[in-house]
């Protein structure tokens, strides 16, 4: 009996496999190159590579976008240890960002105060195409904004709103010397905004690509926008080396659908990579060939001298129309709704990751230049010449995977691409376009990141895959699970999976830089002598309480382990009290906090040494309310407390303040 | 009548004076404090005319730590020695120059003795300040440990609660010591040459070495 059954079973196995594979593909989580494989190393070996002994430092700083928590998280590599969360587009009760009067303006927009956003792509500033450790930029996707973080303090120091844009997704990518930060719209909208039928999309909708000028000081200004057809501009990267004058944007929905895009924007075989010559754009702007478009937008700058952010409101944008500006924009046909567009370290190869495809199209900058010169065009769209696909194609990577999203590069001529659907990272060789290695990820990677992997100088030791789905990878935490990062060693021929670690929010893109560049730049304290906050209290003798009508300003100091003043009387119901608290400490890591009971609108303050911050407090009850230091600052931290007395307006209590008066 | 030894003594004395001048440019003493929270240590430098630290805020930071046990603030303005020690040193340097010009053994000797005594007094004064800071504690201090004093060591290492205090001379102290030693050396040289002059008139008391030198001289 048995010999008869076995052959039948053998025939069934391929059939089952086929069914399972197809089912898996449809579920978008199939992994045909399942775990293990050639890259597998022993747990012990992996542990040794990621183990950073107590007291030792990591080799790299990694900056991961917080996704829908609107922040940036700072990790160490290879350990995967979390160091800090930098609030950017979201209020952060932990340190009072967006709650203190000094930081509230950073969240101001033309819509008003918006304390949340969806932050996708961190981008380090560059000099000569190499990350230089000055600033980190990050985009707000929902209410279009770009922020700048100062990497001396790891604090957000500027946010600029992008008018005429919607879904600021292809953002914020920098040119080779951080001349510009680009910000392309994901959603096309009426420009300027107006009340029109959605069905009039093709007539009324457009997409702008914005160029934000970055001054040597870091200050950002919206220089100009390029008016593009009403497509969805998905991602971008600037050229480098020979292609440094260009920026490349991918787009999908060249069908210009406005409903059920999952079907309607996936009909055409090819969408586009838009190549924009920003040097040419500068010339056209200088020649005055722009249109003034209306548009109100906020530029919020944190002044490091006063440690206070101010909002500057701007009106109007310079807009370039490609049909009027020959040589400004070219379209390169790219198969299957391209997502990421990535430029190799030499600046010659531009990789378009067609997310509904199995293959990658790689274009050559040299061929693009040649095709432009020889006018090898395949028609045009809205006056934008479309280059002949075959004329600019350098090669096709036959990957065998499905759903390529993003590519980064090492320093040995290799490229690494994430495949969302087949859930893997594929390593391939530039020039030969041959696949060298592939490793599964767990599961469904979006971006991947190699330190410096989108620059002219990749530090090609590690690769981090940023996974959207974790399912069974960690202890379950109810229906909501963490996202995760996976660290690979890419120093050898085969990629080796070293470590999984959970991430905060949904990290989309990430950037990393050697600690040796950033560590020496990091500030230890804010110099009290350079603190020019208008409400600073430099010494305990200067502490005071000032009443102006119903507004009371408390000029307060904190130092281990007391407040001056710590007894305040003469506050009345109906007053608005501003606690301007200065941390007098000048010692590294000597932080103090400040919180007062019954504070309805705001959180606490967390003050680094030498900082002044202001907390607004509107008392709602008569009584005596404690305030205290929230940061365990010292051995007598618990004693670091005080009282503020709130009286009825009918009473007569003199305004007094003191510390140490019995 | 100049001899080779006299010239040597003169050079040694000049070296002593110049070495003393260097005292203005370097710290005399260094006190390093280590604690679990200060793994890199906090360093305080005592100069002839000032007290400094690793940075502009070191004294403030040390004072914050010290106030828990009731130690007084270290305030350089409250230490009058820092005002008059530079002048005292200038006086000693001035006398050194005089001694150098006179070029007599007694001038070298008196100068070296004066200098050595002054140095000893300065070190004793430093000890008294350390004693004062370590023993005169605020009775209302938050942390009171019965029988505990916080006097740092003059030279060496001492454990004071969570702190390890290391006190050691710095470059300026070395220069001071060198000055004194060179002063005595000048005196020593001068004495040798006096011996020589003496020997010239009284050959009987010659040592064998100076005899050979004298002989070769002829």
Q: Are A164 and A293 in contact (CB under 8 A)?
A: yes
> Rounded to an integer, what distance in angstroms lies between the CA atom of residue A485 and that of residue A576?
46
| A636–B142 C-beta distance less than 8 A | yes
Domain of B182? 4-192
CATH code, B93? 1.20.140
Q: Are A189 and A156 in contact (CB under 8 A)?
A: no
Given a cut of 90, whether residue B209 has pLDDT beyond it is no
pTM: predicted TM-score of the whole model, two decimal places: 0.89
Nearest to B24 by CA among B128, B167, B171, B122: B171
Q: Is A377 helix (H, G, I), strand (E, B) or coil?
A: strand
Residues A632-644 have a mean pLDDT of 93
Residue A590 with chain B: CB contacts under 8 Å = 61
* pLDDT of the residue at B182: 95
For domain A531-658, the CATH architecture is: Sandwich (2.60)
Our measurement of the distance from residue A390's CA atom to the centroid of its chain's CA atoms, rounded to an integer in Å, reads: 35
Q: Are A558 and A594 in contact (CB under 8 A)?
A: yes
For A35, how many CA atoms within 13 A lie in the half-sphere containing its CB? 4
Q: Are A64 and A72 in contact (CB under 8 A)?
A: yes
Mutation site for A-interface testing, chosen from B53, B62, B64 by largest number of A Cβ within 10 Å: B64
* pLDDT of the residue at A268: 87
Name the residue in chain B with its Cα closest to that of A525: B57
The CA-atom distances, in angstroms, between A565 and each of A12, A207, A537, A555, B67 are 82, 55, 11, 8, 19
List, for residues A503-553, the tens digit of each pLDDT value. Answer: 998 889 999 999 999 999 999 999 999 999 999 999 999 999 999 999 999
* Domain A60-519: homologous superfamily in CATH: YVTN repeat-like/Quinoprotein amine dehydrogenase (2.130.10.10)
Residues A318-323 have a mean pLDDT of 97
Given a cut of 50, whether residue A442 has pLDDT beyond it is yes
* pLDDT of the residue at B205: 42
> Rounded to an integer, what distance in angstroms lies between the CA atom of residue A303 and that of residue A153?
13
The CA-atom distances, in angstroms, between A524 and each of A59, A85, A520, A583, A622 are 20, 17, 10, 14, 41
Name the residue in chain A with its Cα closest to that of B56: A586
**Closest-CA distance of chain B to residue A364, Å:** 53
For residue B205, is it within any domain? no
Q: Are A215 and A178 in contact (CB under 8 A)?
A: no
* pLDDT of the residue at A399: 85
| A587–B64 C-beta distance less than 8 A | yes
* pLDDT of the residue at B216: 41
* pLDDT of the residue at B6: 85
**One-letter-per-residue 3-state SS of A80-94:** CCEEEEEECCCCECC
Of residues A574 and A267, which shows the higher confidence score? A574
Residue tagged 């008018």 (tokens): A163
Given a cut of 50, whether residue A4 has pLDDT beyond it is no
| Helix residue spans in chain B (DSSP H) | 4-22, 58-67, 81-102, 105-135, 171-201, 208-217
Nearest to A415 by CA among A401, A425, A424, A403: A425
> Rounded to an integer, what distance in angstroms lies between the CA atom of residue B13 and that of residue B188?
11
List, for residues B33-60, the tens digit of each pLDDT value. Answer: 999 989 999 999 999 999 999 999 999 9
DSSP state of A638: G
Given a cut of 80, whether residue A458 has pLDDT beyond it is yes
| A635–B56 C-beta distance less than 8 A | no
Q: List CB contacts of A16: < 8 A, sequence separation 6 or more.
A: none
Residue A639 with chain B: CB contacts under 8 Å = 142
Given a cut of 60, whether residue A226 has pLDDT beyond it is yes
| A635–B68 C-beta distance less than 8 A | yes
Q: Is A22 helix (H, G, I), strand (E, B) or coil?
A: helix
Among A residues 498-537, those touching chain B with beta carbons less than 8 Å apart: 525
How is residue A622 written in tokens? 């008569």
Residues B144-150 have a mean pLDDT of 89
Nearest to A303 by CA among A177, A150, A523: A150
* pLDDT of the residue at B2: 55
Per-state percent for chain A, helix, strand, coil, to nearest 5 = 15, 45, 40
Q: Where exactly are the structural domains of chain A?
A: 60-519, 531-658
Residue A450 pLDDT grade (very low, low, confident, very high; cuts 50, 70, 90):
very high
> Rounded to an integer, what distance in angstroms lies between the CA atom of residue A388 and that of residue A270?
12
Of residues A362 and B105, which shows the higher confidence score? A362
> Does residue A172 have a cis peptide bond before it, meaning omega lies within 30 degrees of 0?
yes
Residue A22 pLDDT grade (very low, low, confident, very high; cuts 50, 70, 90):
very low
How is residue A52 written in tokens? 């950073």
ipTM: 0.80
Residue A355 pLDDT grade (very low, low, confident, very high; cuts 50, 70, 90):
confident
**Closest-CA distance of chain A to residue B142, Å:** 8
* pLDDT of the residue at B147: 87
Residues A419-423 have a mean pLDDT of 94
Q: Residues of chain A with pLDDT > 90: what percent?
A: 88
* pLDDT of the residue at A505: 87
Residue B117 pLDDT grade (very low, low, confident, very high; cuts 50, 70, 90):
very high
- Interface membership of A635 toward B (CB under 8 Å): yes
> Rounded to an integer, what distance in angstroms lies between the CA atom of residue A45 and that of residue A43?
5
Counting Cβ atoms within 10 Å, is residue A421 exposed (0-12), middle (13-18) or buried (19+)? buried
- How many domains, chain B? 1
Given a cut of 90, whether residue B82 has pLDDT beyond it is yes
* pLDDT of the residue at A39: 52
**Closest-CA distance of chain A to residue B67, Å:** 9
Phi then psi dihedrals of residue A290, to 5 deg: -115, 165
The CA-atom distances, in angstroms, between B207 and each of B201, B211, B212 are 14, 6, 9
Residue A59 pLDDT grade (very low, low, confident, very high; cuts 50, 70, 90):
very high
Of residues A19 and B54, which shows the higher confidence score? B54
DSSP state of A419: E
Given a cut of 90, whether residue A426 has pLDDT beyond it is yes
Phi then psi dihedrals of residue A655, to 5 deg: -75, 110
Given a cut of 80, whether residue B162 has pLDDT beyond it is yes
| B61–A587 C-beta distance less than 8 A | yes
């Amino acid at each position: 009996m048995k010999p008869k059954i076995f052959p039948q079973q053998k025939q069934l196995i391929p059939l089952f496999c086929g069914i399972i594979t197809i089912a898996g593909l449809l579920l978008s989580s199939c992994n045909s190159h399942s775990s293990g494989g050639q890259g597998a190393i022993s747990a012990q070996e992996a542990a040794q590579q990621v183990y950073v002994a107590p007291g030792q430092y990591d080799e790299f700083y990694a900056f991961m976008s917080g996704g829908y928590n609107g922040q940036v998280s700072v990790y160490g590599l290879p350990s995967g240890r979390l160091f800090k969360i930098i609030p950017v587009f979201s209020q952060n009760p932990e340190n009072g960002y967006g709650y203190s009067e000094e930081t509230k303006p950073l969240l101001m927009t033309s819509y008003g105060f918006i304390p949340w956003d969806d932050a996708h792509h961190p981008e380090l500033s560059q000099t000569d195409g190499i990350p230089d450790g000055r600033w980190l930029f990050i985009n707000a996707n929902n209410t279009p904004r770009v922020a700048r973080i100062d990497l001396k303090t790891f604090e957000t120091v500027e946010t600029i709103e992008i008018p005429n844009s919607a879904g600021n997704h292809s953002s914020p990518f920098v040119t080779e010397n951080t001349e510009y930060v680009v910000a392309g719209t994901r959603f096309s909208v009426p420009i300027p905004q107006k009340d029109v039928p959605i069905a009039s999309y093709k007539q009324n909708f457009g997409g702008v690509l914005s160029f934000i000028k970055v001054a040597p000081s870091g200050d950002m200004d919206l220089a100009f926008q390029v008016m593009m057809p009403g497509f969805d501009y998905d991602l971008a990267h600037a050229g480098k080396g020979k292609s440094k004058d260009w920026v490349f944007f991918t787009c999908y929905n060249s069908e210009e659908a406005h409903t059920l895009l999952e079907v309607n924007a996936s009909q055409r075989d090819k969408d586009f990579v838009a190549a924009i010559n920003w040097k040419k754009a500068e010339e056209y702007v200088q020649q005055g060939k722009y249109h003034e478009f209306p548009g109100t937008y906020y530029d919020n700058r944190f002044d490091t001298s006063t440690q206070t952010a101010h909002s500057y409101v701007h009106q109007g944008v310079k807009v370039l129309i490609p049909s009027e500006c020959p040589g400004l924009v070219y379209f390169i046909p790219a198969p299957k709704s391209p997502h990421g567009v990535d430029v190799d370290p030499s600046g010659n190869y531009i990789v378009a990751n067609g997310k509904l495809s199995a293959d990658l199209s790689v274009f050559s900058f040299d061929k693009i230049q040649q095709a432009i010169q020889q006018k090898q065009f395949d028609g045009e769209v809205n006056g934008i010449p479309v280059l002949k696909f075959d004329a600019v194609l350098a090669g096709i990577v036959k990957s065998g995977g499905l759903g390529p999203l993003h590519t980064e590069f090492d320093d040995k001529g290799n490229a690494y691409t994430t495949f969302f659907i087949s859930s893997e990272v594929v390593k391939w060789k530039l020039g030969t376009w041959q696949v060298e290695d592939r490793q599964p990820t767990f599961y469904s990677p979006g971006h991947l990141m190699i330190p410096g992997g989108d620059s002219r100088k990749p530090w090609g030791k590690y690769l981090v895959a940023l996974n959207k789905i974790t399912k069974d990878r960690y202890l379950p935490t109810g229906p909501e699970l963490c996202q995760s990062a996976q660290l690979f060693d890419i120093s050898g021929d085969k990629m080796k999976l070293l470590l999984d670690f959970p991430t905060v929010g949904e990290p989309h893109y990430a950037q990393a830089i050697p600690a040796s560049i950033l560590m020496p730049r990091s500030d230890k304290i804010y110099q009290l002598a350079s603190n020019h906050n208008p409400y600073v209290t430099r010494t305990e003798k200067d502490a005071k309480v000032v009443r102006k009508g119903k507004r009371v300003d408390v000029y307060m100091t904190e130092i281990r382990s007391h407040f001056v003043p710590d007894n305040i009387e003469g506050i009345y119901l109906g007053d608005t009290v501003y606690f301007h608290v200065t941390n007098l400490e000048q010692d590294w890591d000597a932080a103090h906090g400040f919180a007062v009971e019954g504070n309805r609108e705001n959180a606490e303050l967390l003050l680094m040494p030498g900082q002044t911050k202001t907390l607004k407090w509107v008392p709602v009850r008569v009584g005596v309310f404690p305030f205290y230091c929230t940061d365990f600052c010292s051995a007598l931290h618990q004693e670091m407390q005080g009282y503020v007395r709130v009286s009825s307006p009918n009473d007569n209590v003199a305004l007094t303040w003191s510390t140490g008066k019995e | 009548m100049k001899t080779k030894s006299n010239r040597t003594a003169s050079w040694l004395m000049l070296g002593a004076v110049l070495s003393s001048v260097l005292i203005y440019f370097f710290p005399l003493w260094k006190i390093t404090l280590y604690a679990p929270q200060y793994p890199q240590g906090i360093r305080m430098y005592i100069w002839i005319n000032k007290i400094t630290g690793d940075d502009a805020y070191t004294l403030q930071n040390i004072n914050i730590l010290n106030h828990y046990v009731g130690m007084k603030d270290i305030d350089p303005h409250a230490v009058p020695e820092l005002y008059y020690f530079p002048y005292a040193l200038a006086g000693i340097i001035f006398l050194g120059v005089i001694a150098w010009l006179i070029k007599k053994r007694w001038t070298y000797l008196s100068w070296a003795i004066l200098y050595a005594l002054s140095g000893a007094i300065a070190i004793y004064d430093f000890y008294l300040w350390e004693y004062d800071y370590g023993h005169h504690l605020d009775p209302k201090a938050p942390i009171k440990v019965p029988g505990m004093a916080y006097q740092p060591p003059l030279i060496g290492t001492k454990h004071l609660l969570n702190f390890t205090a290391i006190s050691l001379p710095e470059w300026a102290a070395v220069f001071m010591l060198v000055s004194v030693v060179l002063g005595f050396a000048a005196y020593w040289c001068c004495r040798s040459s006096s011996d020589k002059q003496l020997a010239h008139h009284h050959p009987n008391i010659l040592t064998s070495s100076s005899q050979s030198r004298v002989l070769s001289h002829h």
